[in-house]
Amino acid sequence: MTDHPNYYAITMIFVIAMTIAVSVVFLIYPQLDIYLASFFADGKNGFPLNQSQFLVALRFLYNVEITVLCVTAVSMSLYTRQNRQITKTPHQFWDLIIASFIAGPLVLVNMILKSYWGRPRPAHITEFGGTSDFVPPYYISDQCQSNCSFVSGEGSAIATSGILLGIIAWTVLPHKRKLIITLITILSALGIGLRFVKGRHFMSDSLLAALFSAIVILLIYKIFKISNIRDKITLENITHDFGLIATSLRLKQNRRK
């Protein structure tokens, strides 16, 4: 992830420390979630920004970006596995992207946390015009039956996408990494915040979704031994492989004609 030999350990310790810190703050002061959400609520009438067409369009763009990244990773993983003699990027690089989305947003967040923790969304609690009782983060309750608030599924997907793009930028574009990663961080924070301002998730849901996603990616990064293939993950190699798959698709189209 960088040239510093201890960067992985430092990053993992930092992310875990941040996860513990955020968890402790919102467990000690659970009403902080309600206080922060109230800035975007209209008394007992819910969250006005939930009806914003601009935010709906922005959400759509984030979903498109995530879909494109996943489809690209799956396509390139299959292609590089089948054409190892001519491709230059290791399939493990693309597998990292696929595994991160499956393990984080899909399994951990949507299949486990959102399905079994039962935390109601901000718009559904009595403080903002709903009928459910407020439930602090980590508390398992019966206030929500499915697709619940803890943690943010879309926040997890956007965070996963942002972190992975950051890893790619750090490796592929070393001379512009600070600028690009800063831009990715801002856009990711904006995307993660969309569900918060619309009353679909609490601040703790959004922050923990991003932090859980980061831990999952770091673990997969280590399991897949990505540090051993970093020297092969270059802009030149990626461009080369994209060129190969584009040429292959054109040849198939020409044969059909």
- pTM of the prediction? 0.92
Mean pLDDT by 10 residues, the chain (257 residues): 68 96 98 96 85 94 97 96 92 97 97 94 94 96 92 96 93 87 94 94 97 97 92 93 87 70
Cβ-Cβ contacts under 8 Å for 89 (sequence gap 6 or more): 76, 80, 232, 233, 237, 238, 241
Q: What residue type is assigned to position 115 of the chain?
A: S
Domain boundaries, the chain: 7-248
Q: Which residues of 36-63 are buried (b: 16+ CB within 10 A; e: fewer)?
A: ebeebbeeeebbebeeeeeeeeebeebe
pLDDT by residue (tens digit) across 69-117?
Answer: 999 999 999 999 999 899 999 999 999 999 999 999 999 999 999 999 9
DSSP structure class, residue 120: P
